[in-house]
Amino acid sequence: MSVTDDPRTKQLKKFEKLPEEWRQNQLGAKTPELYQEITKTAINAVQQDLARELDPDLAALKEQVKTAQEPYTQGKKTNNLKISFLVDVLKGRGENVPDIDSFLSAAAKKVLEEQSPIPAHMKQI
């Protein structure tokens, strides 16, 4: 395991996102003060979650996004169901068929290749 894979090192790296002064203050605090800070921070987190849930502007935007995504969401569900059906038919015929993710992965690769700015005759070089 390399140093960068060490979970403790990763955790300490995350802590660098917190203000240095705040971290230093907490390192110097007494144990009861740390528990108070945890409680205060937890209350703040819950209040933020509640505020987000009750934010009418955010709720309206979420509804707009949901409405805008509906054709894509429904299309994806339908396409996945079609692939599942066809895979089931092929398996019923005794075919050794890969799973849906394999088909979707291959399709994504093909789409990316088709959209590549590199001309087709240059891809073979």
Q: Write the CA distances from 21 to 17, 18, 84, 102, 119, integer angstroms.
A: 12, 9, 55, 50, 55
- Both tokens of 65, joined, read 């996004």
Interatomic CA distance for residues 94 and 32, integer angstroms:
67
| pLDDT above 50: residue 102 | yes
- Both tokens of 84, joined, read 């599942």
Residue 3 near residue 14, CB atoms below 8 Å: no
> Given pLDDT bands bounded at 50, 70 and 90, which one contains residue 44?
very high
> Given pLDDT bands bounded at 50, 70 and 90, which one contains residue 125?
very low
The pTM for the full model equals: 0.52
Least confident piece of the model among 17-21, 58-62, 85-89, 110-114:
110-114
| pLDDT above 90: residue 41 | yes
Count CA atoms within 13 Å of residue 83 on its CB side: 16
